[in-house]
Amino acid sequence: MLPKVTVFFFIIGMLVLPGCWDMEDINRRGIANVVFFDTGDTGRFKTGVVLGTPGTEIPPIVGTTQQFEHRHYVITGEGDSMVAAWSEVQAATVRDIFFGQTRVVVLSEELAAEENINDLLDFIGRIPLLPPNIHVLIAKDEPEKLLAMPNRDNYTPGNYIDFYFQSPPIRSLAIPMELWRVNSVLDQKTSDPFIPLFEEYQQMYRIAGTALFNQNRMFGELSKSETEILALIRGTDVGYLTVHLGENQHAAFGFARVRSKTKITPHFSPADQTLAFNLDVEITGGLVESFPHREIGWEEKQEIERKAERMVKEESEKLLAKLQDLHTDPVGFAGKFRTAYPREWKPSDWKQLYSEAKMTVTPSFAVVHTGLYR
Amino acid sequence: MLKEKTGIGPGLFFMVLYVSIFGFGVMQAPHVAAEHMGHNGYWGFILAFILSIPVTAGIAWLGRHFPNRSVIEYLPQLFGVFFGKVLGFLILTAILVLMVWTSRMINEEVRLYFLSRTPVWASIVLFLLVALFLAHQGIEGITRLAAFVFPLTFVLSFLAILFSLQNFELDNIRPVFFFENGLAVGNGVVHLFYPFLALLTALMINPYLTKKKKGFKVMTGAAALAFFLILLAIVSGIGNYGADGILRYSYPVLELTRKANLPFLLQTFGLFFGATWLSQALVATGFFYFLLSEGVAQWLRVLNYKWFTLILFPLIFFLIMLPFGVIEMRIIFPYLRVGGFLFTVGLVLLLFVVAILRRGGNPENAS
């Protein structure tokens, strides 16, 4: 009986073999490189997608003629819901839009300030196969124009941005916020999201600062220098830092490969409901510039480190005061407080406690090398 | 009634049990842990494992006392024919429900991630046909398949879960020793016991075991290995997303491994994990299908398990198709967890007590 039964079920199985319904010709697949959202003119939302131009979806190779004028194009749609806007996008192309290779989700500044980011990312986040570790960015300029621009590095925008975030020399400028991390921060409520801002610069993209969020809406932004300090406080593995010598702005020391590790300790007094945070920031860096040039001996090292520590302390405390004023917590102080004082942790009281918390930054800076020169 | 003459050694038993516990238990574990116990939800699973040890000991003891019979066969001796049959029916129903729920969830997952346009009935038919084929091969074929898939699936799923720790934040799983109250802990233990429901299968597979005296060690070993991997998945899930963050996801462990990557080398571990988990879940489903078919044959005392693999096919297919969608499955799940815990612990305790009181069984024949 067994062979007959096996053959019978094998034939039945072949008839209903799944996969036939999902067959898709690769040429008909439009690989979404970037998905962006903006406020619409005719509808509440405008959404768009960056698709690779067929035949150009191979990386540029230096020394060959493989440089295309238009490696990508943009399709947009508008509607009163994300899905309505999206259906306009899909209706505008014969290719089935595929999200499995999407690298970046971009929101416009205007939309991020007007709408709840949790709702904005809900549509894109529910799409199966969308990589969870794609970057979320806020565009300083209009996303459609920004993403339609052919960049000089000749990458599709999503690839450009993905490589940018993985490039060590600029990591302290561009603290990555992936989609899963934004969702995690929003769900946990023990910190506020912060999302890199990007802009056009000499027909390329670069990080313009950091967008700050309060209660799921964009509420302010940090400049590039403030972003570097935020990266230092949060703990970074690579970065640059310039320390000026007192009043003389022309005399400065520059550091590369700056690494930091921060220990945040909360102190809470239940009696008078006062909260204080001590931030012990351990920073190391290699000296790559001494302006004016001089040999770095023991005394110079001590002096440089003292000045760097003072600068980090001043800048950090200034930044933290700004964050407190904006009632936004990108560093994650709430998480530290919840962990140390789980019984006292009440999300509803946090904003008040945080805005009045005393912040003390205690940096220690160590010069680990001086490059090729002594 | 046809009965397989084969015997399975401790190694094969270990692997089929591990595959069942892991395959059926891993996917939702971080969600359940975070839902019931929050940031330190891993404690619920640790305590559930500790609780599974006496249950395993009870099952092993019963196996030694009724060495050549399955639970369906010796129930009438312990409880009389009527109550024995009723209890036997309940055990078969429990195995059926567990198999049906898991099969539907597996197919929902396949539909979401891989075959979005394929109707769910088509993927279920194929899934069940493969399970039927496995069940039709009998216990030896299933356990040998489990042994075949075990090394690769274990290594790959371990690596995928290990690499998913890459964005782990210690604060997300702290404070370690802070509990809201004892009730929350108890609740967490009950709900997180569900991966160990697969231990019930040992009551059915018992007659085939060649070395019953090693039963406890083998079962505890298989449960411990599955426990280790599932615990790692829970810790990684909560450590990555936070307790509140992981509640967002329909299939948290798959999301966790999809996120895990090796920059410039491997975009995601999700596919590795998905393939290995599906292989294990499919073997486990075939195993459950076999036990169910053989259990029904023993319960009715007619035909044999091969016939019942065919006879039960439409019923199982109908039951898997019964829930409309994934939301219904989610609503059923907590009842399944609590009911499964009460039934498993209660049944083993009841069998143990009644077997002692009635001095049932024949431990002399245990090898």
Could you tell me the CA-to-CA distances from A240 to A228, A253, A254, A260 in Å, in that order? 8, 11, 7, 11
Query: Model confidence over B99-135: pLDDT tens digits?
Result: 999 999 999 998 888 888 888 888 898 899 999 999 9
CA distance B135 to chain A (A): 12
Size of interface A-B (CB pairs under 8 A): 89
**Residues of chain B contacting A128 with CB distance shorter than 8 Å:** 112-113, 116
Query: How many domains does one find in chain B?
Result: 1
Q: Is A17 on the interface with B (CB under 8 A)?
A: yes
Count Cβ neighbours within 10 Å for each residue of A43-68 and write b for 16 or more, e otherwise: bbbbbbbbbbeeebbeeeeeeeeeeb
Angle at A332 between CA A326 and CA A337, to 5 degrees: 105
Q: Test B126 with A17 for CB contact under 8 angstroms.
A: yes
Read off the pLDDT band of A74 (50, 70, 90).
Answer: very high
Q: Is residue B67 part of a domain?
A: yes
Is the pLDDT at A299 greater than 70, yes or no?
yes
Q: Name the amino acid, one letter, at B75.
A: L
CA A50 to CA A70: how far, in whole Å? 12
Q: Is residue B286 part of a domain?
A: yes
Query: Model confidence over B46-104: pLDDT tens digits?
Result: 999 999 999 999 999 999 988 888 999 999 989 999 999 999 999 999 999 999 999 99
Q: What is the pLDDT of residue A29?
A: 87
Q: Test A188 with B244 for CB contact under 8 angstroms.
A: yes
**Residues of chain A contacting B259 with CB distance shorter than 8 Å:** 132-133, 180
Query: Hunting for tokens 């431990």 — which residue is that?
Result: B363
Q: Test B245 with A1 for CB contact under 8 angstroms.
A: no
A11 vs A337, more confident: A337
Bridge partners (DSSP) of residue A221 are A211
Q: Is B119 on the interface with A (CB under 8 A)?
A: yes
Q: What is the pLDDT of residue A154?
A: 81
Query: Model confidence over A267-281: pLDDT tens digits?
Result: 999 888 889 999 999
Q: What is the pLDDT of residue B213?
A: 85
Q: Test B268 with A131 for CB contact under 8 angstroms.
A: yes
CA distance B14 to chain A (A): 28
Query: Model confidence over B25-40: pLDDT tens digits?
Result: 999 999 999 999 999 9
Backbone φ and ψ of A257, nearest 5°: 50, 45
Q: What is the pLDDT of residue A296?
A: 84
Percentage of chain A lying above the pLDDT 90 cut: 44
Q: What is the pLDDT of residue A163?
A: 84
Q: What is the pLDDT of residue A16?
A: 64
Q: What is the pLDDT of residue B83?
A: 93
Q: Test B113 with A129 for CB contact under 8 angstroms.
A: yes
Q: Is residue B12 part of a domain?
A: no
Q: What is the pLDDT of residue A234?
A: 87
Nearest to B44 by CA among B236, B196, B249, B184: B184
Read off the pLDDT band of A128 (50, 70, 90).
Answer: confident
**What is chain B's mean pLDDT, rounded?**
90
**What's B194-213 look like in SS3?**
HHHHHHHHHHHHHHHECCHH
CA B366 to CA B13: how far, in whole Å? 16
**What is chain A's mean pLDDT, rounded?**
86
Q: Test A16 with B125 for CB contact under 8 angstroms.
A: yes
Residue numbers of the domain that contains B60: 28-357
Q: Is residue B222 part of a domain?
A: yes
Percentage of chain B lying above the pLDDT 70 cut: 96
Read off the pLDDT band of A295 (50, 70, 90).
Answer: confident
Q: Is residue B364 part of a domain?
A: no
Q: Test A187 with B248 for CB contact under 8 angstroms.
A: yes
Q: What is the pLDDT of residue A18?
A: 59
Q: Is residue B185 part of a domain?
A: yes
CA A238 to CA A172: how far, in whole Å? 6
Read off the pLDDT band of A44 (50, 70, 90).
Answer: confident
Choose from B137, B174, B180, B312 for mutation: most chain A CBs within 10 A.
B174
Is the pLDDT at B2 greater than 80, yes or no?
no
Q: Test A183 with B259 for CB contact under 8 angstroms.
A: no
Query: Hunting for tokens 């990557």 — which residue is that?
Result: B261
Backbone φ and ψ of B299, nearest 5°: -70, -45
**Which of B116, B175, B258 lies nearest to residue A22, judging by beta carbons?**
B116
Burial class (CB in 10 A: 0-12, 13-18, 19+), B76: middle
Q: Test B240 with A184 for CB contact under 8 angstroms.
A: yes
Terminal-residue alpha carbon distance, chain A: 87
Q: What is the pLDDT of residue B314?
A: 94
B74 vs A237, more confident: B74
Query: Model confidence over A137-155: pLDDT tens digits?
Result: 999 989 999 999 888 888 8
**Which of B133, B175, B245 lies nearest to residue A188, judging by beta carbons?**
B245
**Residues of chain B contacting A1 with CB distance shorter than 8 Å:** 306
A77, A92 in Cβ contact below 8 A? yes
Instruction: Decide if the complex's ipTM is over 0.95.
Output: no
Q: What is the pLDDT of residue B178?
A: 85
Two structure tokens written together for B219: 């079962």
Read off the pLDDT band of A64 (50, 70, 90).
Answer: low
Is the pLDDT at B242 greater than 90, yes or no?
yes
- Nearest-CA residue of chain A relative to B107? A18
Q: Is residue B4 part of a domain?
A: no
Give the pairing type, strands A358-369 and A274-291. parallel
Read off the pLDDT band of A1 (50, 70, 90).
Answer: low
**Residues of chain B contacting A343 with CB distance shorter than 8 Å:** 178
Choose from B39, B126, B172 for mutation: most chain A CBs within 10 A.
B126
Q: Is residue B18 part of a domain?
A: no
CA distance A13 to chain B (A): 6
CA distance A255 to chain B (A): 27
Q: Which residues, in sequence order, are CB contacts of A15 under 8 Å at separation 6+?
A: none
Q: Which residues, in sequence order, are CB contacts of A206 under 8 Å at separation 6+?
A: A198, A199
Could you tell me the CA-to-CA distances from B24 to A156, B89, B104, B125, B336 in Å, in that order? 42, 22, 12, 19, 13
- Sorted by where each begins, the domain ranges of chain A are 25-222, 225-369
- The DSSP call for residue B316 is H
CA distance A223 to chain B (A): 27
Angle at A44 between CA A83 and CA A191, to 5 degrees: 80
Q: What is the pLDDT of residue A57?
A: 64
**Cβ neighbours, 10 Å, residue A24:** 10
CA distance A23 to chain B (A): 9
Within 277-336 of A, beta carbons closer than 8 Å to B belong to 332, 335-336
Query: Model confidence over B271-327: pLDDT tens digits?
Result: 889 999 999 999 999 999 999 999 999 999 888 888 999 999 999 999 999 988 889
**Residues of chain B contacting A17 with CB distance shorter than 8 Å:** 126
Read off the pLDDT band of A136 (50, 70, 90).
Answer: very high
Is the pLDDT at B365 greater than 60, yes or no?
no
Three-state DSSP class for residue A275: strand
Which CATH number is correct for A225-369, 1.20.1530.20, 3.90.120.10, 3.40.1000.10, 3.30.300.210?
Answer: 3.30.300.210
Over residues A70-86, mean pLDDT:
91
Is the pLDDT at A17 greater than 70, yes or no?
no
Provide the edge-to-edge strand list for the sheet that holds A274-291: A241-245, A248-269, A274-291, A358-369
Q: Is B133 on the interface with A (CB under 8 A)?
A: yes
Q: What is the pLDDT of residue A255?
A: 86
Within 114-173 of A, beta carbons closer than 8 Å to B belong to 128-129, 131-133, 166
